[in-house]
RNA sequence: UGGCCUAUGGUGUAACUGGCAACACGUCUGAUUUUGGUUCAGAAGAGUCUAGGUUCGAGCCCUAGUAGGCCAACCA
């Protein structure tokens, strides 16, 4: 019997091999954000990877803040990062760690390296060292301070810690190899002086470990079995391993994978920050932002994001993922979950001339054809209703290509009756002002005698019961597919139509009780989410994504 | 320029690690449909960057080349 086992990605293959060969009994991974900004879709990929792997193999995934640069890090980011991970549905239980928790240990390890003659205090200013450091093609030359005695190094390093020196006056360097073709092995900095308060340790320290000094050691302290990071850290791996070896500590293993690139999207903290600060978007949680909070507000669901992460997989080659994959993931999820309702973006009044002026009939509407448990609701039908302006054409093409309204054309009003357009009124500017129609009493939804078949079905809203709503139509933020290939300023590629606000839309009365966060499908239009700006008497919907549209041919 | 990494339909990933390339998205057909949605059935589309080599046999191994990515921050 063949079971179609889903194929494994290269990391899963490595893990299963490690497990089989007894190198590890379980998986301990970690998600290590630096609390200096907000999480985005790229982080989501990493979160799903790290937590997902731990889940799959019955292991654990820690949350560890990589907070070794007090100049950039803040507590507010810590909170938002935790919120985002929780929203995605992952739980780090009590394993919330901080690299700064390990500062004491890290300091001891630094002195251990000094004692082994593997680290030294260097007085050379940054630019001076960089000058003698050489280039990838040309070896560097040693700093004049490279051969200081262990005692002197130990003394100087302790003086650094005590605050005897100014920022930048001295650094602690690993003593490795000035001629290595890997620049990270040319006596990399382990500790630097920063008289800056840290968001967690306050003013306890004025020297801080660098990423290289802190990251692998933190992994080791937490007994991380598989330390996953993005490709650009590949060149750090020899240093990662050098430190573990020379410190003789638990050998966590670093494995790199390709970061996410999304079409029509920019995913870098720097660029996203610029968009916010220059006001191109309304904050980090603007629904157009690829930040987790932005996507949440837009209407993406955790399930969709996880499904997305799952489908794109993980590999070691840099590519460009089509946003269509993300959009497909939300549609798939929302199709099952979102109730259908009627909303008219650009209302066009239709007067049903043979319907009594004061009559209201309550009709039954199905909430979600994909989910019978979602039940039904009642919607009022009256003489005057709204359909969308886009659903009428004065001179429509043949009925085979145009299923909607036109002079003498018939359509079904969903859950109601079939109507025939008997006339229309034009405004002076040529626009269509209102439509006149006649309904066929024998075509009531559910009780249709079946003598009539129409191809088109329209959504509608009773004019007397309609609720006004603001609809925010979001579209991609950029017009260029591959934003990582552009050479000019990325802001030149902004999509001027990434947000179109429709302030005079009408929606069906059942939406009166809509709450922030509710997600619906406006039939034939797309999926929408009630925005946090929404109030009791001013409903605001964000368009998450349009419906798939096959009307090309 | 020195080194490291990568190279499979339009896009993202597979190929039990040598046995004539699969899945998803997208595209196109048709059916169903009281959403031009969903669902269903089907199609087109790569011979695996190039050139050698090893082998009975290579997308998987070797060599060279080409292309792309990464590295010369007291950022992570």
Structure confidence by residue, pLDDT tens digits, A263-294: 999 999 999 999 999 999 999 999 999 999 99
Which residue of the set A194, A259, A273, A476 is catalytic?
Answer: A259
Tell me how far apart the alpha carbons of residues A200 and A141 are, in angstroms, rounded to a whole number: 38
Domain architecture of chain A: domains with CATH: 2-257 (3.40.50.620), 269-339+469-546 (2.40.240.10), 343-459 (2.40.240.10)
What is the pLDDT confidence band of residue A4, given thresholds at 50, 70 and 90?
very low
pLDDT at A75 over 90: yes
pLDDT at A233 over 60: yes
Q: Which nucleotide is nearest to A213 (CA to C1')?
A: B76
A4 burial (CB, 10 Å; 0-12 / 13-18 / 19+) is exposed
Average pLDDT of chain A to the nearest whole number: 96
pLDDT at A192 over 70: yes
Considering only CA atoms, which residue is closest to the C1' of nucleotide B10? A322
Q: Which nucleotide is nearest to A212 (CA to C1')?
A: B76
Q: Indicate the length of chain A as a whole number.
A: 553
Residues 6+ apart with CB under 8 A from A99: A64, A65, A66, A67, A68, A209, A214, A215, A218
Q: Which nucleotides of B are covered by protein (CB under 7 A)?
A: 1-8, 10-15, 17, 24-30, 34-39, 68-76
Considering only CA atoms, which residue is closest to the C1' of nucleotide B28? A553
- What is residue A450's predicted lDDT score, i.e. its pLDDT? 67
- What would the mean pLDDT of A396-401 be, rounded to a whole number? 91
Q: Which nucleotide is nearest to A180 (CA to C1')?
A: B3
pLDDT at A17 over 70: yes
Between CA A7 and C1' B20 the distance (Å) reads 21
Instruction: Map residue A91 onto helix, strand or coil.
Output: coil
**Annotated catalytic residue A118:** no
Tell me how far apart the alpha carbons of residues A432 and A283 are, in angstroms, rounded to a whole number: 39
pLDDT at A247 over 80: yes
Q: Are strands A418-426 and A410-413 parallel, antiparallel or unpaired?
A: antiparallel
In the block, tokens 């973006």 appear at A345
Give the C-alpha distances (Å, rounded to integers) separating A217 from A194, A221, A240.
Answer: 21, 6, 8
Between CA A284 and C1' B37 the distance (Å) reads 32
Between CA A338 and C1' B32 the distance (Å) reads 22
CB A315 within 8 A of CB A9: yes
- What is residue A551's predicted lDDT score, i.e. its pLDDT? 78
Between CA A432 and C1' B34 the distance (Å) reads 26
Considering only CA atoms, which residue is closest to the C1' of nucleotide B33? A455
- What is residue A464's predicted lDDT score, i.e. its pLDDT? 98
Could you give the residue ranges of the DSSP H alpha helices within A201-236?
211-221
**Token pair belonging to A404:** 């909607």
- What is residue A552's predicted lDDT score, i.e. its pLDDT? 66
Which residue of the set A133, A194, A269, A337 is catalytic?
Answer: A269
Task: Taking the CA atoms of A522, A524, A528 and A534 in sequence, report the sign of the dihedral they define.
Answer: negative
Q: What is the interface pTM, i.e. ipTM, of the complex? A: 0.96
**Annotated catalytic residue A152:** no
pLDDT at A7 over 90: no
What percent of chain A is modeled with pLDDT above 70?
98
Give the C-alpha distances (Å, rounded to integers) separating A223 from A34, A252, A486.
Answer: 20, 7, 41
Structure confidence by residue, pLDDT tens digits, A143-152: 999 999 999 9
Between CA A236 and C1' B76 the distance (Å) reads 12
Between CA A5 and C1' B54 the distance (Å) reads 33
- What is residue A447's predicted lDDT score, i.e. its pLDDT? 86
The conformation of residue A552, written as its DSSP 8-state character, comes to: T
Tell me how far apart the alpha carbons of residues A47 and A76 are, in angstroms, rounded to a whole number: 19
**Annotated catalytic residue A34:** yes
Between CA A229 and C1' B7 the distance (Å) reads 21
What percent of chain A is modeled with pLDDT above 90?
95
The conformation of residue A390, written as its DSSP 8-state character, comes to: G
What is the pLDDT confidence band of residue A453, given thresholds at 50, 70 and 90?
confident
Q: Which nucleotide is nearest to A328 (CA to C1')?
A: B25
What is the pLDDT confidence band of residue A104, given thresholds at 50, 70 and 90?
very high
- What is residue A2's predicted lDDT score, i.e. its pLDDT? 35
- What would the mean pLDDT of A104-128 be, rounded to a whole number? 98
CB A108: neighbour CB atoms within 10 A? 11
Instruction: Map residue A205 onto helix, strand or coil.
Output: coil
pLDDT at A1 over 60: no
pLDDT at A449 over 80: no
Q: Which nucleotide is nearest to A181 (CA to C1')?
A: B3
pLDDT at A84 over 60: yes
The conformation of residue A316, written as its DSSP 8-state character, comes to: S
- What would the mean pLDDT of A473-500 be, rounded to a whole number? 96
Structure confidence by residue, pLDDT tens digits, A293-342: 999 999 999 999 999 999 999 999 999 999 999 999 999 999 999 999 99
Q: Which nucleotide is nearest to A33 (CA to C1')?
A: B76
């Amino acid at each position: 019997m063949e079971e179609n086992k889903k194929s494994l990605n290269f990391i899963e293959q490595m893990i299963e091999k490690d497990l089989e060969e007894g190198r590890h009994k379980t998986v301990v991974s970690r998600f290590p954000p630096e609390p200096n900004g907000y999480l985005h879709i790229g982080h989501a990929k990493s979160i799903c990877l790290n937590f997902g792997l731990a889940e799959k193999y019955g292991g654990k995934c820690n949350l560890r803040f990589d907070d070794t640069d007090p100049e950039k890090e803040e507590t507010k980011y810590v909170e938002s990062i935790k919120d985002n991970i929780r929203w995605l549905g992952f739980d780090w239980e009590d394993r919330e760690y901080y690299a700064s928790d390990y500062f004491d240990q890290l300091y001891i390890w630094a002195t251990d390296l000094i004692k082994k003659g593997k680290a030294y205090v260097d007085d050379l200013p940054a630019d001076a060292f960089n000058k003698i450091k050489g280039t990838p093609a040309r070896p560097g030359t040693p700093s004049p301070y490279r051969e200081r005695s262990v005692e002197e190094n130990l003394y100087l390093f302790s003086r650094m810690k005590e605050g005897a020196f100014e920022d930048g006056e001295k650094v602690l360097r690993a003593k490795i190899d000035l001629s290595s073709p890997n620049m990270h092995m040319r006596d990399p900095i382990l500790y630097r002086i920063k008289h800056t308060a840290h968001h967690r340790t306050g003013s306890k320290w004025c020297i801080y470990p660098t990423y290289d000094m802190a990251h692998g050691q933190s992994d080791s302290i937490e007994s991380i079995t598989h330390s996953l990071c993005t490709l650009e850290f590949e060149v750090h791996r020899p240093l990662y391993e050098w430190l573990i070896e020379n410190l003789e500590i638990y050998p966590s293993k670093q494995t790199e994978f390709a970061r996410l690139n999304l079409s029509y999207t920019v995913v870098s903290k720097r660029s996203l920050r610029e968009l916010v600060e220059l006001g191109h978007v309304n904050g980090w949680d603007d629904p157009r932002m690829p930040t987790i909070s932005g996507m949440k507000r837009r209407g993406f669901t955790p399930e969709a994001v996880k499904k997305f992460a799952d489908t794109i997989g993980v590999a070691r080659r840099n590519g460009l993922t089509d946003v269509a994959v993300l959009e497909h993931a939300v549609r798939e999820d929302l199709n099952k979950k979102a109730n259908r309702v009627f909303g008219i973006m650009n209302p066009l009044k239709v007067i049903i001339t043979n319907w009594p002026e004061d009559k209201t009939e309550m009709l039954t509407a199905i909430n979600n054809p994909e989910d019978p448990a979602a039940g039904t609701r009642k919607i009022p039908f009256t003489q005057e209703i709204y359909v969308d302006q886009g659903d009428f054409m004065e001179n429509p093409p043949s009925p085979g290509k145009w299923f909607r309204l036109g002079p003498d054309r018939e359509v079904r009003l969903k859950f109601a009756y079939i109507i025939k357009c008997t006339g229309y009124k034009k405004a002076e500017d040529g626009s269509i002002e209102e439509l006149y129609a006649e309904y066929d009493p024998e075509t009531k939804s559910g009780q249709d005698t079946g003598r009539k078949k129409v191809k088109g079905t329209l959504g509608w809203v009773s004019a007397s019961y309609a609720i006004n709503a603001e609809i925010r139509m979001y579209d991609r933020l950029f017009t260029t597919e591959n934003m990582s290939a552009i050479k000019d300023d990325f802001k030149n590629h902004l999509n001027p139509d990434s947000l179109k606000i429709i302030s005079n839309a009408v929606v069906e009365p059942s939406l009166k009780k809509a709450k922030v966060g509710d997600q619906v499908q406006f039939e034939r239009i797309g999926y929408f989410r009630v925005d946090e700006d929404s109030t009791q008497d001013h409903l605001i919907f964000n368009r998450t994504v349009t419906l798939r549209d096959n009307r090309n041919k």
